[in-house]
């Protein structure tokens, strides 16, 4: 499937909480393929959530394996349906960006280690632990499913928001 357009802030869908997926059907399988294609089409993208492409369902994808920050500590491509963070440890501030907010990055405090429960693309319940950059990316995408952007979590609007250099 082709990459789908990314909704940009302040689009209303980006502030909506998503509905849980009740059955893995053709609609959900198509959504997953579209999310993966959209993630791969974005420069430097390591994840994308359904509301960013106009679907208010609790589905997102994350893959930090090709990023220099995540290539040594990752689970590869994660397809997450109805994800929920069940444990968090520690905290650190990291610079985040988002395809839905292309002109800015910001300093955001996130847990450095998380445990996560979700359904995979086959409807199987999985639990994983993630740390470092992968944990940050997972928290970022799950926030999208709850109607939150990194802008909502910036450590300081005065000193923690930065104009992004343009992608080439």
Residues belonging to the active site: 141
Cβ-Cβ contacts under 8 Å for 51 (sequence gap 6 or more): 7, 13, 14, 16, 18, 144, 145, 147
Instruction: Give the chain's length.
Output: 168
Side-chain-side CA neighbours of residue 14 (13 Å): 17
CA distance 168 to 166: 6
CA distance 59 to 13: 14
| Residue owning tokens 């959504």 | 31
CA distance 63 to 76: 5
Q: Is 82 left (phi over 0), alpha (psi -120 to 50) or beta?
A: left
């Amino acid at each position: 499937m082709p990459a789908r357009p990314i909704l940009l802030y302040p689009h209303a869908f980006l502030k909506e909480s998503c509905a849980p997926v009740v059955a893995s059907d053709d609609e959900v399988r198509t959504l997953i393929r579209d999310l993966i294609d959209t993630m791969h089409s974005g420069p430097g993208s390591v994840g994308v959530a359904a509301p960013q492409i106009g679907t208010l369902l609790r589905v997102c994808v994350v893959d930090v394996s090709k990023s220099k920050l995540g290539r040594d500590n990752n689970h590869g491509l994660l397809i997450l349906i109805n994800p929920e963070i069940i444990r968090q440890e520690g905290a650190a501030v990291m610079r985040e960006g988002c395809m839905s907010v292309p002109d800015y990055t910001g300093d955001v405090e996130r847990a450095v280690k998380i445990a996560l429960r979700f359904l995979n693309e086959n409807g199987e319940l999985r639990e994983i632990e993630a740390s470092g950059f992968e944990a940050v990316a997972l928290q970022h995408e799950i926030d999208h499913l709850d109607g939150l952007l990194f802008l909502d979590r910036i450590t300081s609007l005065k000193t923690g928001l930065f104009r992004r250099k343009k992608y080439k």
